[in-house]
Amino acid sequence: MNKPAASPAAARRAPNPAHLALLPMALTALVVYLGSMLWSLRISMSSSRSLPMQDFVGLAQYQRLFANERWLHSLHNLALYTPLFIAASLVVGFLLAVLVDRQARAGGLLRAVFLYPYALSFIATGLIWQWLLNPELGIQQAVHGWGFAGFRFDWLVDQDRVIYTLVIATVWQGAGLVMAILLAGLRAIDADILRAARLDGVPAWRIHVSIVIPMLGFSFATAALLLLTAAVKLYDAVIAMTQGGPGTASEVPAKFIMDHLFGRANIALASAGATIMVLTAVALLAPLLYARRRALRASR
Amino acid sequence: MKAARPPRWYADPARLGLAALAVSAAAFFLLPLYVMAITSLKPMEEIRLGHLFSWPTQLTLDAWHAAWISACTGVACDGVRGGFWNSVSIVLPSTLIAITLGALNGYALAYWRARGAALLFGLLMIGAFIPVQVLMFPLVRMLGPLHLVGSLAGIVLVHVIFSMPIMTLIFRNHFAALPRELFLAARLDGAGFLRIFVLLMLPLSVPMLVVAAIMQATGVWNDYILGLVFAGREHLPMTVQLNNLVNTTTGTKLYNVDMAATLLTSLVPLAIYVISGRWFVRGIAAGAVRG
């Protein structure tokens, strides 16, 4: 990546302009990313409430965190949401990619339709689905109006099902992204391989399952990486759609941290949550990054 | 021998099935937009009937007017128009500065030797995966004494900081893919760091600059959490005002106004999406090559 500069002698004489140019990046990387992380870690080991304290209480905040009902509930929700969101986005995104790929004439238009939700904010997404799923005036009521009086779709106000409404809304928003990434991968597959399979009389579904999907390994891993990053950050959509409710049924870690930082003035506990969040993200992302590297090597 | 003519699409059940599937999928994806649009055009009396999907019997733009001019977004009741202009004033500098810095970083990383640059870049790339909530409090404490929390400069700075990993990455990849001979020839001609950047590299990067601008403008417009924390009362972006309008109004809920405000807030990214077309997709491709 860092190839030798054209003229090392000239670079030694004057102050290196590249150093100067990279100063904002150095400050961002060292002060903001690394510095903030370490600071966050330090605060999580203090007894800080609304102001940072300099004392050291070891892992006491972490013990409190994991005795905190709301935090445990948030983690549980995220553990439920993340695999569902990623799996559903990948499946829907793949089906959409195949649909777009197979429609020679309408492909461009279809792609535009499937991708537009991705241009919307999570706030708008959450608000749209809050309205659609409104049990009094939304989809449920409309279906009642069509004569199906027994129809129930009140997940938004159902403590046990509200998390699935977040999955629905965010999959609607993000499936287009998966589609776009997989489409690029699909177009890169050698058409001769597919033609040969078709000439051998292999049915289309079999071609997709046995040839196309394995060849898309890298694209799938890339999409999963972006989805996972988004899932861990899940916040805006919750704020817009459910505000963590009903009750605390749709609380998530990112919201727990924000609430304790700004609303409840318990920055040490929030920082402990933040540290756990980073560790979780790293633990989940590392194997995915590794798998993605391997898929890349395999495809070469 | 004459080749058998392929069957017409409507005579082929498999293709017919696929087409039907494509149409239903498209309908599912468009439905929320349709419902949002018709809800915003109905008077409240009609919304209360509960016919979510039916075309308005009485079309009215009152809700749009209210959402823009007079709906309450917290304490103030002058619609989301203030947020619109706040967002515009945040998006323009955030985009300009972020792509300039990203291009400069990418160019320096791809062509110039700078000690520790690879390590810093690696650190920055890891930073891209860290949830913003984790960095939030230290950043507030750092920017507070500089009077940057709750100001336009502060929110722009924060946007530039959080977009730096992705902007740097796409430009580094872009410059690394250009033929190195161009750079070497310019060096032989005696051109320096900035001259090569401005006169040679930027003109070669116009498509990438456009792609980056589209990504950044959309991302900043759609941001909620950074605006909430760093923009301050005077500069609250449209997304924050929108959420306040819908989720914290007391009294009767005006769903038509809610949906009009949601549409108004979404018009800018939707316009960018529709106008930019393939460029938007290129941004996704460029942003996806991380790790």
- Say if residue A2's pLDDT is above 60: no
- Listed residue (B118, B89, B86, B92) closest to B105, CA to CA: B118
Q: Binning pLDDT at 50, 70 and 90, where does residue B67 land?
A: very high
Q: Does B68 touch chain A (CB under 8 A)?
A: no
Per-residue tokens: B51: 């016919």
B241-247 mean pLDDT: 93
Count how many domains chain B has. 2
For position B4, what pLDDT does the model report?
56
The Cα B68–Cα B82 span in angstroms is 9
Q: How confident is the model at residue A119 (pLDDT cuts 50, 70, 90)?
A: very high
Residues on chain B touching A11 (C-beta within 8 angstroms): 112-113
Token pair listed for B69: 């001019």
Task: Write the DSSP string, A5-33.
Answer: PS-HHHHHHS--HHHHHTHHHHHIIIIII
In the numeric block, the tokens 């904002």 are attached to: A24
Neighboring chain A residues of B281 at a CB cutoff of 8 Å: 111, 115, 180
Is pLDDT above 90 for A151?
no
Count the neighbouring beta carbons within 10 Å of the beta carbon of residue A136.
11
Residue A188: Cβ within 10 Å count: 12
Q: How far is CA B74 from CA A60, A261, A280, B247, in A?
A: 38, 21, 36, 9
DSSP assignment letter at A105: T
Assigned domain for B233 exists: yes
Give dist(CA B142, CA B131) in Å, integer. 18
Q: Which of A22, A261, A271 shows the shortest C-beta gap to B114?
A: A22
Question: Are the beta carbons of A124 and B239 separated by less than 8 Å?
Answer: yes
| pLDDT score for B1 | 43
Domain assignment present for residue B284? The answer is yes
Nearest Cα neighbor of B221 from B242, B207, B205, B206 is: B242
Confidence of residue B76 (pLDDT cuts 50, 70, 90): confident
The answer, yes or no, to whether residue B118 has pLDDT greater than 80, is yes
- How big is the A-B interface in CB pairs under 8 Å? 285
B252–chain A Cβ distance below 8 A for any pair: no
Give tens-digit pLDDT for A32-65. 999 999 999 999 999 998 888 889 998 999 999 9
Calculate how close chain B gets to A132, using CA atoms only, in Å: 7
How high is the mean pLDDT of chain A? 89
Q: Where are the domains of chain A?
A: 63-299
pLDDT band with cut points at 50, 70 and 90 for residue A16: confident
Q: Give residue B148's identity as a one-letter amino acid code.
A: L
Best CATH choice for the domain A63-299 from the list 1.20.1630.10, 1.10.3720.10, 3.10.20.30, 1.20.1580.10: 1.10.3720.10
Quick one: pLDDT at residue B138? 92
pLDDT band of B70, cuts 50, 70, 90: confident
CA distances from A181 to A90, A119, A176, B147, B189 (A): 10, 15, 9, 41, 41
B91 and B20 together in one domain: no
Flag whether B3 is in a domain.
no
Is B180 part of any domain? yes
Does any domain span residue B142? Answer: yes
The Cα–Cα gap between A2 and B115 comes to 10
Measured distance CA(B182)–CA(B99) in Å, rounded:
22
Contact A37 B104 (CB under 8 A): no
Count the alpha carbons within 13 Å of B125 in the hemisphere toward its beta carbon: 18
Which of A133-137, A168-172, B128-132, B250-254 has the highest mean predicted lDDT (pLDDT)?
A168-172
Between A155-169, A211-225, A286-300, B228-242, the lowest mean confidence (pLDDT) is in: A286-300
What is the rounded distance in angstroms from the CA atom of residue A291 to the CA atom of residue A283?
Answer: 13
Residue A104 has pLDDT above 80, yes or no: no
The C-alpha R_g of chain B, in whole angstroms, comes to: 24
Q: Within a domain: residue B258?
A: yes
Q: Which residue of B has its CA nearest to A221?
A: B288
| B241 to chain A: closest CA residue | A123
CATH number assigned to the domain comprising residue B124: 1.10.3720.10
The verdict on B195 touching A (C-beta cutoff 8 Å) is no
Determine the pLDDT at residue B291.
45
Same domain, B207 and B93: yes
Coil, helix or strand at residue A203: coil
- Report which of A248, A255, A244, A249 is spatially closest to residue A277, judged by C-alpha positions: A255
- Which of A:260-299 have CB within 8 Å of B? 261-262, 267, 270-271, 274-275, 277-278, 281-282, 285, 289, 292-293
The span from the CA of B111 to the CA of A18, in Å, is 9
Peptide bond into B43 cis (omega under 30): no
What is the per-residue pLDDT for B8? 60
Q: Does the beta-carbon distance from A37 to B121 stay under 8 Å? A: no
pLDDT in tens, B126-182: 888 888 888 999 999 999 999 999 999 999 999 999 999 999 999 999 999 999 999
| Pick among B111, B130, B280 to test the A interface (most A CBs inside 10 A) | B130
What tokens were used for A8?
């090392």
Q: Write the residue in A8, A36, A289 that is nearest to B291 by C-beta.
A: A289
Decide if A24 and B277 are in contact by the 8 Å CB cutoff.
no
pLDDT at A217 over 80: yes
- Structural domain containing residue B254: 81-288
